[in-house]
Amino acid sequence: MHLVTAEEMRALDRYVIEQIGLPAAVLMENAARAVAEAAMELGAEWYGEANGGGGKPAGGSRLAAGGGSARSGCGGYGAASGRPLRWLVLAGKGNNGGDGIAAARHLLEMGAEASILYAEPPERLTGDAALQRDAAARLGIPAAVYAPGAVDWRSFDGVIDALLGTGSRGAPREPYASLIREANASGLPILAADIPSGLDADTGAVHEPCIRAARTVALAFMKRGLALYPGAEYAGAVTAAPIGIPARLADAHGVRVFRLDEAAVCSRLGVDPARPRRADTHKGTYGLVLVAAGSPRMAGAGLLCVRAALRAGCGLAAWALPASLAAAVTGRAPEAMLAPLEDGGRGDWSAVAPEALKAELAGTDALVLGPGLGRFAGDAAWLRRVWDAACGAAGGTGAGRAVPLVLDADALNMLADADDFAAWPRRPADSPAVLTPHPGEMARLVRTSTAEVQRDRIGIARDYATRRGVVLVLKGAATVTALPDGTVYVNTTGNPGMATGGSGDVLAGVIGSLLAQGMPPGTAAAFGVWLHGAAGDRAAAARPSQASLLAGDIIEYL
């Protein structure tokens, strides 16, 4: 599923109208029908099949979770009454309003009741929205103009938010702002047309106020802001409805940002998540991962990383660590090999020669460097020498072979301190390094604040990936994976229970494992992110709460 910006959507819209020759009114009609159908489904979910008129079975838990004045206001109706649901369409003066007004007409046809509440005097509507206004009036659809405090929300069962769409700029102005606040306070289930009003369609930032929708029906394509937080939370359950703009037009227009769900894993990444194995294979078939990780204070990071790598399917995993640490972890990961590196008795990486790690690279199929590594004097220069070796640069692995590489955690902090990363040897085009920063590490890499990173996660990740020629995995809710060619995947799996120590070490191990199994870096990173989140979701479901999830639990569900 493509994720588009408001500007890209406008360009596609224009193209279909001007070049393909479909009148805008046809798109609006299709959009309106999709909005009305989604409203019927939402009604069925909240109030039961008899009222919704079709679609999904009644969701008792949603009713319970819905709470608020609407439920008490609707007491006596609900599934038992069997009467049509009453929808209130909040209409803005642009085409988003036009979609909503036309949806009111479709709702009547589907057997529901609908009224229209104009945010502004309806005379201000123009073009296709004005056409819809007039048709609705001639059909006798009740309509009123919003006056603060005058709406009797209890006379309705649900709300359609068609106030602001992709044409909105900045925080909703009055009277939109007051109307949004009243709608949110009504406790009624809200269906957002295209995007919740108040959401920044491009970044997922939410203005004050912003509609809190139970459900959003995205028209033609999902807007980026519906997949990014906090927007994704305000949008509720999101679906995309076809309105006459085929997906291949988005490809042709250069849209390269995708929502990463299971369908996209299969279709876009070309990966079968179950990946059955061929019978005539052995551990050598599935590659050897070298994990360089762990220090006295963070030995567990290495343990988690190496175990995750093994669970993600590599044939062999070796754990390179300071020799003085080896005794403490021996036997903790019996399936892994240990590669103790001479550390002058210090127990950390400060005295481990890069050449010692380089020697271990021979014969490995991927290197994961960084989890729990710690920092030490001169570590940026140390990293540079390991980088050169893994690049296959002169004096590297000997064979001149590039070893697939994941840099995580402290390796990223070292990289951030290296002023000349741009001048480091380039890796082969088919083997870019995978970097897995969390927002704080990303901020250090690009010398900005974490808040700035979070404000434009796709932009920051994509810019870094294309400029530096790396695969950039920007972790966090809706992890963003950006490839050197500008392709971006926004992940849909995972849960806040995974915000716990060691979770990132597990991800680094998973990606390293997939690299060792021969997956191209962009695919390994995006699929690894999805897999890690999916395992986290299963692990959380098996626990009494998300809060009790441990990073080690994620490994067990890979």
Residue 503 binds which entry of ligand LP7C6HRI, K ion, none, with Cβ cut-offs from 5 to 8 Å by kind?
none
Residue type, 539: A
Residue 161 assigned ligand-binding role: yes
Cβ distance 234 to 206 under 8 Å?
yes
Q: Which two tokens stand for residue 448?
A: 């900005």
Distance CA 82, CA 509 (A): 55
| Total residues belonging to the chain | 558
Phi and psi at 471, nearest 5°, equal: -95, 120
**One of 219, 291, 409, 471 touching ligand LP7C6HRI (CB under 6 A):** 219
Cβ count near 489 (within 10 Å): 28
The reply, when asked if residue 384 is annotated as ligand binding, is no
Please, what is the minimum distance in Å from the beta carbon of residue 182 to ligand LP7C6HRI? 15
> Which pairing describes strands 488-491 and 480-482: parallel, antiparallel, or unpaired?
antiparallel
- Is there binding between residue 13 and K ion (CB under 5 A)? no
8 Å CB contact between 500 and 551: yes
Tokens of 221: 């394509």
Binder of residue 197, out of K ion, ligand LP7C6HRI, none (CB less than 5 to 8 A by kind): K ion
Cα four-point dihedral sign 170, 173, 176, 180: positive
Residue span 143-162 as binding mask against K ion, x where in contact by CB under 5 A, dash where not: ------------------x-
Which of K ion, ligand LP7C6HRI, none sits in contact with 320, Cβ below 5 to 8 A by type? none
**Nearer Cβ to ligand LP7C6HRI, position 126 or 449?**
126
Neighbours of 285 (CB within 10 A): 12
Minimum distance from residue 260 beta carbon to K ion (Å): 25
- Contacts to ligand LP7C6HRI from residues 97-126, by CB under 6 A: 97-99
Provide DSSP, 38-71. HHHHHHHHHH-HHHHTSSSPP-HHHHHHH-HHHH
Q: Is 194 annotated as a binding residue?
A: yes
What stretch of H or E contains 126?
Answer: none
Please report whether residue 92 would count as binding ligand LP7C6HRI according to CB under 6 A: yes
Instruction: Pick what 92 binds: K ion, ligand LP7C6HRI, none; C-beta below 5 to 8 Å, kind-dependent.
Output: ligand LP7C6HRI
Is 251 known as a binding-site position?
Answer: no
Q: Which two tokens stand for residue 397?
A: 């692995």
- Decide which of K ion, ligand LP7C6HRI, none touches 93; Cβ closer than 5 to 8 Å per partner kind: ligand LP7C6HRI
In whole angstroms, give the CA distance from residue 468 to residue 452.
Answer: 19
The DSSP code sequence of 4-49 is: E-HHHHHHHHHHIIIII---HHHHHHHHHHHHHHHHHHHHHHHH-H
Backbone dihedral region of 469: left (phi > 0), alpha (psi from -120 to 50 degrees) or beta? left
Distance CA(192)–CA(214), nearest Å, equals: 8
Verify binding: residue 4, ligand LP7C6HRI, rule CB under 6 A. no
Residue 176 marked as a ligand binder? yes
172 binds ligand LP7C6HRI (CB under 6 A): yes
Chosen residue from 53, 167, 440, 469 binding ligand LP7C6HRI by CB under 6 A? 167
Quick check: bond before 175 cis, omega within 30?
yes
Segment contacting ligand LP7C6HRI by CB under 6 A, of 138-146, 172-180, 289-297, 483-491: 172-180
* Residue 197 contacts K ion per CB under 5 A: yes
Preceding amide of 84 cis, omega within 30: no
Distance of alpha carbon 270 from alpha carbon 106, whole angstroms: 39
Q: Is 216 in the site for K ion (CB under 5 A)?
A: no
Q: Which does 36 bind (CB under 5 to 8 A by kind): K ion, ligand LP7C6HRI, none?
A: none
Among 157, 194, 365, 408, binds ligand LP7C6HRI (CB under 6 A): 194
Give the pairing type, strands 316-322 and 471-474: unpaired
Smallest distance from K ion to CB 128, Å:
16
Three-state SS annotation for 138-206: HCCCCEEECCCCCCCHHHCCEEEEECCCCCCCCCCCCCHHHHHHHHHHHCCCEEEECCCCCECCCCCCE
Minimum gap (Å) between residue 33 Cβ and K ion: 16
Contact set for K ion, span 163-192 (CB under 5 A): 192
CB contact set of 264 (below 8 Å; sequence gap of 6+): 1, 258, 489
Establish if 13 lies at the interface with ligand LP7C6HRI (CB under 6 A).
Answer: yes
> b/e string for 7-29 if b means 16 or more Cβ within 10 A?
ebbebbbeebbeeeebebeebbb
- Of 192 and 293, which has the nearer Cβ to K ion? 192
Residue 171, annotated as binding a ligand: yes
Q: Would the annotation count 184 as a binding residue? A: no
For residues 437 to 476, the per-residue mask of contacts with K ion, x marking binding by CB under 5 A and - elsewhere, is ----------------------------------------
* Residue 9 in contact with ligand LP7C6HRI, rule: CB under 6 A: yes
Q: In the complex with K ion, which residue's Cβ is closer, 38 or 192?
A: 192
The site for ligand LP7C6HRI, by CB under 6 A, has a size of 28
Q: Which residues bind ligand LP7C6HRI (CB under 6 A)?
A: 9, 13, 27-28, 31, 92-99, 164-173, 176, 193-194, 219-220
Residues at the binding site for (6S)-NADPHX are 95-99, 165-171, 176, 194, 301, 372, 438, 505
Binding residues for K(+): 96, 161, 197
Binding site for K ion (CB under 5 A): 161, 192-193, 197
